Structure 1
């Protein structure tokens, strides 16, 4: 592009600076090792708590693992996890798309942003439990209440991130793009989306995590199928091992969804920062 500065990677090489590919791989290995260490510490703390407090307060890792196996063998885990996944991802996708589109529009058009910001701020400040109660009154018990609650929770997170991201773009580059008559699609891909990346990725991770938490909570209260239904049954039977097993399974599905959906976006951002000469972030 005539109006964009693409010379920084070349300047780095001319200055004799080493390429960052090896550093990026080293960082990835370090992150993986520290992640494993953190999970190991968590498991150790869990087992220590189970030993000190006893199984009526915190089941051991072995008891929780046995409960997970029972849930998997009985066929209860698969459908429940799939139902929660549908409620969480479906609601997050619907609400996130609305918030993202309105956030980008609000960042580009002042009237849209000025009108939408207080509305989405109010939505963000409303406790999810209130939306669950309203959804039960509007839709009745079932999965619709969970999906609606997730959507109304995810929308303001993505809206505010998109609004701030678009507002952070370099005005000089935007003016130069207009001066050189860059096509609208090119302005979107080369100016707006890169400005959004640093804001949207943390917001997407937050929205995804909140979606699973809100979906499970709504399922517990609405009597819908899913992990929340399994938790309600375990609570009724006072089965702490099954309760912890459902929690671990839900978190595992969340981590898998995060790795499959957000890891490619993180890789794209790291590649973009590497081409621009920006040190990669963990």
Structure 2
């Protein structure tokens, strides 16, 4: 509630718990313009309309960048502003009734991305076709994933024998196989990575480790996705292979207006898991095709051999 000439701010316990965050108790009794200074350009005109016309407003899942958690936060709110009148019928304040939709909006957005990743109509695709299709789908979610890079380890990057933490060859390398939201050739998106001079934590990914990379000051002019500012962090997640070394790794730039909580990390890991499963399927199919071709070639060779033998038996020697 905002009351009086200064629109003095008051709220109940539910609003304090769900919306106010770290602004409590500082916000109580202060002018609403000060309490919500960071979003006043959005809500100020709405409040003024209520005060001047006496007509209520309504917004559904409106995006507001709140500073209630120690950083500028992407939030969504459904709310109405209604006039408060004194005993003479004059509008002297405003009542806000609000419900927060942040979790719903973000979860629906991420679920749509995961659903789109699995929407490939092709029964069989080559590895590169699968990765290109996946990158196109990831590019449709520039809020959660401002940009992504998919790197695959080259043959010979791992020592012979069983995979363990020491099996990565220090001379190993990785190649850029797919990307979204960023141009090829950008300093953050080199086409090749070498273990001794990689801009991304190649060795940790090769050992199956996820790494959070701080981006501020690391690269210039990073793409911003659907936001006004570039990402501040990226999560590097290995593309795990069952019983073997990782196929490669995913670099997922993160939304700087959301914390990397368990849900966000789980979302990125599910994306990486989908890519790894697609690579496994494509390589398995390729191996089956190669085996079928080898068997067909062997069958042709046997047919030719027996045909020649039969011909020799039928042809009398002189």
Length-normalised TM-score, structure 2: 0.24
Structure of larger gyration radius: 2
Greater RCO between the two (CA within 8 Å, min separation 6)? 1
Answer 1 or 2: which has greater helix percent: 1
